[in-house]
Amino acid sequence: MKLIVGAYASAPSNNTWNKEEESNYYDALKRNDAIDGLEIPFTSKLHSFDEQWYLSKLSARWTYVLTCIPGTMMALNQDASFGLASNQAAGREKAMQFYKGAAEAIATINKQLKKQAVTHVLIHTAPSNPQYRCDKALEKSLLELCSYDWHGAKLLIEHCDAWQPENPFEKGFMDLESELAIVSKVNQESKCGIAFSLNWGRSAIEFQSKLGAIEHIKACNAKQLLNGFIFSGASASSDIYGKWRDSHMPPSLESLEDPTLEDSELDTQAIKDSINELNSSSLDFIGCKISLLPTSRATEEKIKCIHDTVAVIKNVLENRI
């Protein structure tokens, strides 16, 4: 099982582009032997400012998970019918073309590192508006994705907070029960072996409770389909990170001594509870994706936040019940 970091969420370039500062940030993460790899964002390209430079900074020691959520959200801002589950032909076709681009990006990364560096790709059950969404469309899209050349990477649906009529949503994609049922059916019809990844914060947002992740872990474990788990925090009351917002809030840790994180629902005990519920034998990766706000915070603070979060996860894994 690899320990990976969604480093892009805290990268200095979220505030301002400075190649030297960005290099120092990634070099500091490379020096942490506990980190086995990165979650790489895909928008239709691999870096907002300098893709070739970014590729040159990737370590051959690391493995990589490509996440398609940034590009998915960008596309939804332009077309509410975009997505693998879209019942609108044009919206679904745009999504299929987007994922073809993701497969090409994986080939680019692997070529750069001269190995099968990308092990997983995270896909999503957009669109958000249920009027534009149907189970049959998702099933058709998944079967089509299974025919693509993913260059050795495994397809994982990253479950995001589901659309709910009574609560505001962040992503508002398909509910986990439906996703699990459709994937189980597709896996019976194909040899693709699609599985799932969860994000602690997005599960908490859906349930508006720190117990959300536990419920989602149990549901995935029941189908033996959970391959990845990422810790991002969330808050019921934070003025900085928002109320149940998908802002990748860091955990509340004593070592961070940061009063802005005191109302994070994710703390050491919540990390322990989740890890104790996980089935390590089925997990390919675990890790964190956190963003220290405001984005103007010092790079050194962001690096320490990642290092401390990784240390807690690693310690809990090594001492789990």
Q: Into how many domains does the chain fold?
A: 1
Of 121, 109, 222, 213, nearest in space to 160 by CA: 213
CB 240 within 8 A of CB 294: yes
Residues of the chain with pLDDT under 50: none
pLDDT in tens, 252-294: 999 998 999 999 999 999 999 999 999 888 999 999 999 999 9
Separation between Cα atoms, residue 90 and residue 210, nearest integer Å: 37
- What pLDDT is stored for residue 40 in this prediction? 98
DSSP string, 226-257: EEEEEE-B-BSSBTTTBTT--S-BPPB-GGG-
How much is the mean pLDDT over the chain?
A: 96
Separation between Cα atoms, residue 88 and residue 57, nearest integer Å: 39
Tell me, what CATH number does 247's domain have?
Answer: 3.20.20.150
Domain enclosing residue 207, as ranges:
2-318
- What pLDDT is stored for residue 165 in this prediction? 84
- CB count within 10 Å of CB 56 equals 10
pLDDT in tens, 140-153: 999 999 999 999 99
Separation between Cα atoms, residue 207 and residue 198, nearest integer Å: 14
Q: What are phi and psi of 109, to 5 degrees?
A: -65, -45
Give the chain's length: 321
Q: What is the pTM of this model?
A: 0.96
Cα dihedral 271→277→281→287 (10° resolution): -20
CB 189 within 8 A of CB 229: no
- What pLDDT is stored for residue 97 in this prediction? 98
Phi-psi domain of 205 (left: phi exceeds 0; alpha: psi -120 through 50; beta: other): alpha
- What pLDDT is stored for residue 211 in this prediction? 96
